[in-house]
Structure formats: C-alpha cells, structure tokens
Amino acid sequence: KQEVTQIPAALSVPEGENLVLNCSFTDSAIYNLQWFRQDPGKGLTSLLLIQSSQREQTSGRLNASLDKSSGRSTLYIAASQPGDSATYLCAASGSARQLTFGSGTQLTVLP
Amino acid sequence: DTEVTQTPKHLVMGMTNKKSLKCEQHMGHRAMYWYKQKAKKPPELMFVYSYEKLSINESVPSRFSPECPNSSLLNLHLHALQPEDSALYLCASSQGELAETQYFGPGTRLLVL
C-alpha cells in the first residue's frame, strides 16, 4: 500500500526566501505525482503534475522535481510571498487508480 | 473553464435527515471523485465514477450514496449520518482516471448534529 510522507509538517519563512518542500513515497510504481495548494477551509488547487516519465515541471516561481528511484519529490518555491501561505499537499497516483495524499506542509510566509 | 462547482457551501443536518451534495463540471471530464477531509488531515477518497459508472468504492458506509446522473453531474446522497461524518466533502474531476490532473471544487462543509 502506497504511503506518502511530507516533511516538515509546518514551515515559517520570511518573505523573499527560496524554500523547498519535501515529499516521499514508498511505492515507486506511480503514474504521476501532483502538488496541490489548500487555503484554510477551501478546496485544493492543482499546482503541478509530474508524469512518471518526467523529472521536473515548472510553473512561474514553482518547480517540482521527481526521483522515482529514491521515492522523492520536491517543490521549490522561489522568492516566497505572504500570499504563498497555505498548506501544500503532494499526492501520488499509482496502480490502485487513486491519489494517495501526504499530510501536507503548512507554510507561513512572514511579511 | 477549469471550474468544479459544489453546492451547498455549508450544510447542517440532524442524524435523521436526508440531504444531498451536488457537484458539477463542464470541462468534458469523464472521471469524477468524492473525497472526505477531516480537519488538518489529507483528503480521503470515497468514490470514483468513470464514464458515469461507479468504478471505486472505498468501503464507504451505506449511509453515503453516490449518483452520477450524467457526465457533468455528481451527487452524494446523505442519510442517517453520524456526528463523526462532519467534514469537508470535496468533489474532483479529471479527463480520465489515470495520469491526469484532478481539479477540485471548493467543497461542502458538513456538520452533523
């Protein structure tokens, strides 16, 4: 059974810092890995999806990487802003045809 | 249009009530999902519909009854719920089931008294 872990559970940084969020998964037989953002009490917003054949994806200040062999993905946020404050969730899509979510990293960017 | 809409936004119901949650998408997606999310926990998959047919039921109690009347609409019928069923219920859709970005709605916040 796939297990997804995100470290750290919470992170607080000053505005302007570059930061990395980590995601690890136990079963490397994944179809893709997605990163989502969730604001308090809201739904999930898809940020990036990396197919199993890809190594990274970029969108604006966000860059996500995938290393299937080590069971790891990272989300890099450049020049963080207070508006980036949210919970970031990674989710792996595997042979069970469903997303397995990590518990998330709660990010606070201080002005 | 990459929007998934959900109604109502909030719902309070007693344990003897019957209510329904509604989800709609007009992106032509053929897979739709219901998730349950408790506070400070990740979403947990409940049901998956693929081409309007139920393809995954994650051992959800029968007091939750999904329905997919057409390719754009997904309902979740609620009956005789328990207080522990209080949660945020999220709907999502994707082009297909596998290797596709899932788009989530804003959720329905459910409180069972």
pLDDT tens by residue, A85-105: 999 999 998 766 678 999 999
Of B4, B61, B98, B42, residue with least CA distance to A98? B98
Q: How confident is the model at residue B59 (pLDDT cuts 50, 70, 90)?
A: confident
What per-residue confidence (pLDDT) applies to A96?
61
Q: Do B56 and A101 touch (CB under 8 A)?
A: no
- Name the residue in chain B with its Cα closest to that of A33: B99
Q: Do A44 and B109 touch (CB under 8 A)?
A: no
Dist CA A34 CA A74 (whole Å): 11
Q: Does B67 touch chain A (CB under 8 A)?
A: no
- Name the residue in chain A with its Cα closest to that of B88: A41
Q: How confident is the model at residue B87 (pLDDT cuts 50, 70, 90)?
A: very high
What per-residue confidence (pLDDT) applies to B2?
65
Of A59, A83, A62, residue with least CA distance to A19? A62
The count of other CB atoms within 10 Å of the CB of residue B96 is 11
CB B48 within 8 A of CB A98: yes
CA B68 vs CA B32, B45, B71, B73, B85: distances in Å: 9, 16, 7, 6, 21
Q: Do A42 and B107 touch (CB under 8 A)?
A: yes
Count of residues for chain B? 113
Could you write out the DSSP letters of every residue in chain B? ---EEEE-SEEEE-TT-EEEEEEEE-S--SEEEEEEE-TTS--EEEEEEETTEEEEE-S--TTEEEEEEETTEEEEEEES--GGG-EEEEEEEESSSSS---EE---EEEEE-
Dist CA A15 CA B58 (whole Å): 41
How close does chain B come to A94, measured CA to CA in Å?
8
Residues facing residue B13 across a β-bridge: B112
- Tokens at B28, concatenated: 């032509």
Residue in A32, A43, A46 closest to B90 by CB = A43
Interface of B with A in 71-110 (CB under 8 A): 88, 90, 92, 97-107, 109
* Regions in chain A scoring below 70 on pLDDT: 95-97
The stretch B13-17 carries a mean pLDDT of: 90
Helix, strand or coil for residue A84? helix
B47 contacts: CB under 8 Å, gap ≥ 6: B33, B34, B54, B56, B57, B58, B60, B64, B66, B76
Residues of A with a Cβ under 8 Å from any B Cβ are: 31-32, 34, 36, 41-46, 49, 51-52, 89, 91, 93, 97-99, 101-104
Q: Do B101 and A93 touch (CB under 8 A)?
A: no
